[in-house]
Amino acid sequence: MSTVVKPGGLLSSISSGISNCRSKVRSYIATEHSEVVNPDGSNVEQDETASRFKVEERESLWTQVHNYIGSDVSSLITLPVTIFEPMSMLQKMAEIMEYSYLLDKADQCEDSSMKLVYASTWAVSVYFAYARTWKPFNPILGETYEMVDKNGLTFLAEQVSHHPPMGTAHAENEHFSYDVTSKLKTKFLGNSVDVFPLGRTRVLLKKSNMVLDLVPPPTKVHNVLFGRTWVDSPGDMVMTNLTTGEKVVLYFHPCNWFGKRLGRALSFGRRKGKSQGRGRNDIDGFVYSKDGQPKMIMTGNWAKSMSYQPCNADGEPVERAQLKEIWRVADVPKGDKYQYTHFAHTINSFDSAPPTLLASDSRLRPDRYALERGDVSSAGFEKSRLEERQRAEKKLREQKRQEFVPRWFKMSGEIAPTPWGELEVYEFNGKYHKRVESSPAGHTVNVDQFRSMAFDPWQFGASGEQNVVHGSQVVPVSVEPTLLVAAS
């Protein structure tokens, strides 16, 4: 399968929205198996879907979808499992931690400009991981994902809203803490979809007690109905040091049909033409002082590497200063079905799980696990069963006039402005740390025990004291899940 550009950060959420919007609209014309290709057509197979459509078929399609023009299309229809990858969106959110060592370096260095060089490179690095074309599973309300690594990093994500879809995450080690409230806003424009990252990402560097704020660029999905589908993220990524007022602005060069740089041709002309002829996935920018003076040049390609170079107030490289590479994409397995990096495989493995795994963890999803084993039929069945159970819980909450309450995050009461609208911000409530501290010392990961655990993100537990409304019936939660499906 060919590569499509997808953003990360909240970035991880954006990539899901891209796949979601494209797949849902294209599913009207039964193209879930068609290839998505690069705009320059290089090293990819031709998408033959468009040539198969007759004029009357296209007219019929437009009749079906024209009412969606200008609308948010993040939740149109149920999707076939054949277009999915064996990973939940919450797991995909964790991929931003693949190069978290860059945040460690940002915390350890003394130069405040270099802190932004390291931190912004970390924000760029996730774009490579989110270039996959498969769609992750939409999290069930209350679903979680936990990850730990040998360097002391812990990551926890939780789905806190189903409509609109919202995920939250908190990550931490001795050098930094990371918090994100992730939400998408989309706009269907006929043969393209605009995706806006309506969310907030914050990083605290512990040694210096500096707080960084990240705003990624928007994304546009081209040719969702006809022609070669491709994705671009033209515009500025801005990371601001809220403590000092310094910031870095990285410009993601837009692509035209030939994969060349397009627009903003003279934006870095003072750099002796280095911006000229920029190509696909290329990035340029500066680290600025609080007074707006350029301090560092940053340049690179999110699919390859990033480099930096000190500059003067005019944006010209300092004499004798060398352009230094700061990050390079790690080697990835060849021929991997889902184009997973080594780190992505770790995320999907119980090897990265804590000794006391929550039963709501994404790894335990029966649909995800069935797809990982290659059992597409079972994956589709389990996906439908989970979605039906989620609808049943929603009805029960409405009957009881109860609101869903996240376990590990809470609403902060803050309404944050973003370039695309206001956002209700969630914050980590700290209860997870207490749970970890109360875990038995020396407890080790038991993979066989984890595999026997039932996936349980449900608000109403399997005690038998609560009932779940299923279709027109009221069925005890303690009944076997297969019987819940049979009752529909």
Cα(268)–Cα(294) distance, rounded to whole angstroms?
12
- Mean pLDDT in order along the chain per 10 residues (488 residues): 40 48 43 35 40 47 53 58 90 96 97 97 88 83 95 95 92 97 82 82 97 90 68 88 97 68 41 53 95 97 94 93 94 86 93 93 97 95 95 92 94 89 93 84 78 92 42 34 33
**Which of these, 90, 200, 180, 203, lies nearest to 421 by C-alpha position?**
200
* Beta-carbon count within 10 A of 315 CB: 15
C-beta of residue 233 within 8 angstroms of C-beta of residue 17: no
Q: Residue 334 is which amino acid?
A: K
Structure tokens at 353: 């799980």
* All structural domains of the chain with their residue ranges: 56-228+348-440
Among residues 199, 107, 104, 95, which one has the least CA distance to residue 147?
Answer: 95
Q: Structure tokens of 251?
A: 């410009």
H or E segment to which residue 305 belongs: strand 305-310
Q: From CA 310, how far away is CA 293, in angstroms rounded? A: 12
Please report, as a single letter, which amino acid is at residue 205: L
Q: For position 96, what pLDDT does the model report?
A: 95
d(CA 141, CA 388): 12
Q: Are strands 84-88 and 135-137 parallel, antiparallel or unpaired?
A: parallel
> What pLDDT score does 189 carry?
79
| pTM (whole model) above 0.85 | no
pLDDT given at position 14: 45
What is residue 468's predicted lDDT score, i.e. its pLDDT?
38
Q: Pick the closest to residue 358 from 225, 279, 456, 486 (CA basis).
A: 456
- Which pLDDT score is estimated for 374? 94
**Beta strand ranges found along 78-175 (DSSP E):** 84-88, 135-137, 144-148, 154-161, 166-172
Distance CA(171)–CA(152), nearest Å, equals 10
C-alpha dihedral (309, 315, 316, 317), degrees to nearest 10 = -10
Strand partners, 470: 473
Contact 77, 65 (CB under 8 A): no
Please tell me the predicted confidence (pLDDT) of residue 104: 98
Query: Which residues are CB-neighbours of 136 under 8 A, at least 6 positions away?
Result: 16, 19, 84, 85, 87, 88, 89, 91, 92
